[in-house]
Amino acid sequence: MNYKYLLVLLMAACCCSCSHKVYTESGIKREFRGAWIQCVNGQFQGLGTENMKKNLTYQLDELKKDGVNAIIFQVRAECDALYNSPYEPWSRFLTGTQGVAPYPYWDPLEWMVRECHKRGMEIHAWINPYRAKTKNTNALANTHFAIKHPERVFAYDGQYILNPGIPQNKDYICEIVRDIVKRYDIDGLHIDDYFYPYPAAGQIIPDDKEFAMYSNGIKNRNDWRRYNVNVFIKQLSETIKGTKPWVKFGVSPFGIYRNKKSDPSNGSNTNGLQNYDDLYADVLLWVKNGWIDYCAPQIYWEIGNKAADYKTLITWWNKHAANRPLFIGEDVARTVKYADLSNPRSNQMPAKFNLHKQMKHVKGTVLWYSRAVADNVGNYGTVLRNHYWKYPALQPKMTFIDGKIPNKPRNVKPVRTTDGKYVLFWERPKAKKWNDVVDKFVVYRFAKGEKINLDNPSKIVAITYDTMYELPYRQGNTNYIYVVTALNRLSNESKGVKQKIKL
């Protein structure tokens, strides 16, 4: 994840809310609406258990109001852990000192799984696979990988990197992922744009030895480096699916695949760092071969950027990465900082959302980063909740993993509870296989005589992991029809069960 834009937050905070165009629409029923919650910027460091819980609760509550339906939570930044790992030390980004457990003890990932699901949100665990030490980490725990296996990492620009050229490192990372996927009820496993390190002036990747030992007949070193990453991505995908086939594997690459000057046929009309040539990440191959389940390129630039124009890039990704769901990584602060080229009184939020609507293969958005949205920088959160994400959305279908429709909820009925509440209860349908398992439910409400249209997201009153919904009872004089459907692990939706209710 590229963190260099954090400083623009203060500049963006003064953007005027009246600059936004207003769109009236019933919304889109299926759309990935994600937000990255990172640890590596130090936002949690030294907070302590209760204050960090408060911080995260605040963010989740605000993001829920803004329509976010998926959280991408960073749990491994430098071969460390924001969860109870049997392999790697507790993160300094959690406790301040690597290897020191949180006190009072808690497991942030376990807690986040529970809290996200309580709000009807998915949670994707985000790891940095190769990075073993960030620039500002000065002390490593005795149990850290680089201390135990110094021969399997290399130093580069103040960092330590797990050498992608050593085959055993792929196995190690996959074992870390297998453990996370097996023990935690996550919905996705997410990696970002750090593969081979970002190029730094005067720095050379020290992999002569590995190239000589493991070249597999590949003559060109750049091709060999790409081969190493390709093999890892494929193995990581197989590891996830072999552990829990419903867990989605997502990648958020740097926003430029290749520039046109490097690849006249397939490159974008841009001039910047390239995934393929500089990070040795052949993202389009992963999409084409179905090794990943979604791609979320970080298109953090503004419309009109001379080196990397946002419109050029979203159009390019829409054309070239259609074999898997495409979500767009958005820089919130930069979006509200820059004026719309065709309407200087507005920031670029409306123009970017218009581009999203025009792109056939764009199925969602991931916001960089969560705190900017929660703090409503540039009025971004308010506009989401009042306009673009006013109504709830289900996750996009991924029929290439599973397309089976689950059974309907059972015994749907309203009940007057002992404390005077009026509650709609139901039961989960029975399941024999993993894709029969009902994960959550959707509750719709329609007025008496209104056509039952489950494709209209404005009629959704809840997306919940619970088997109940508290009804807004008033005088008991108004008739409604409630419909409850079931969703399996991949958000395939059952037929609805109707219930007439007076409120």
Chain segment 223-244, per-residue pLDDT in tens: 999 999 999 999 999 999 999 9
* Res. 7 pLDDT band, cuts 50 70 90: very low
Region 320-336: mean pLDDT is 98
Separation of alpha carbons 471 and 496, rounded Å: 18
- What mean pLDDT, rounded, does the chain reach? 94
* Position 246 pLDDT exceeds 60: yes
* Fold for the domain defined by 410-502: Immunoglobulin-like (2.60.40)
DSSP state of 247: S
> What's the confidence (pLDDT) of residue 110?
98
Strand partners, 162: 153
**pLDDT at residue 12 in the model:** 38
Residue 206 has pLDDT above 80, yes or no: yes
- pLDDT tens for 140-177 read 999 999 999 999 999 999 999 999 999 999 999 999 99
Checking if the pLDDT of 9 tops 90, the result is no
Task: Please tell me the predicted confidence (pLDDT) of residue 26.
Answer: 66
Confidence (pLDDT) at 500 = 96
Report the pLDDT value the prediction gives residue 475, as an integer from 0 to 100: 86
CA distance 362 to 347: 22
CA distance 249 to 410: 32
- The CATH code of domain 8-388 reads 3.20.20.80
Higher-pLDDT residue of 229 and 11 is: 229
* pLDDT higher than threshold 70 for residue 217: yes
Name the packing angle between helices 349-358 and 310-320 (round to 10°): 20
Average pLDDT of the residues in 276-303 = 98
Domain ranges of the chain: 8-388, 410-502
Interacting residues of 150 by C-beta distance below 8 A, sequence separation 6+: none
pTM: 0.94
pLDDT in tens, 466-490: 999 999 998 889 999 999 999 999 9
Distances in Å between the Cα of 53 and the Cα atoms of 49, 91, 222, 315 are: 6, 16, 44, 39
What is the DSSP-derived secondary structure letter of residue 381? Answer: H
Q: Is the pLDDT reported for residue 186 higher than 90?
A: yes
Q: Which two tokens stand for residue 133?
A: 């030490």
Give percent above pLDDT 90 in the chain.
93
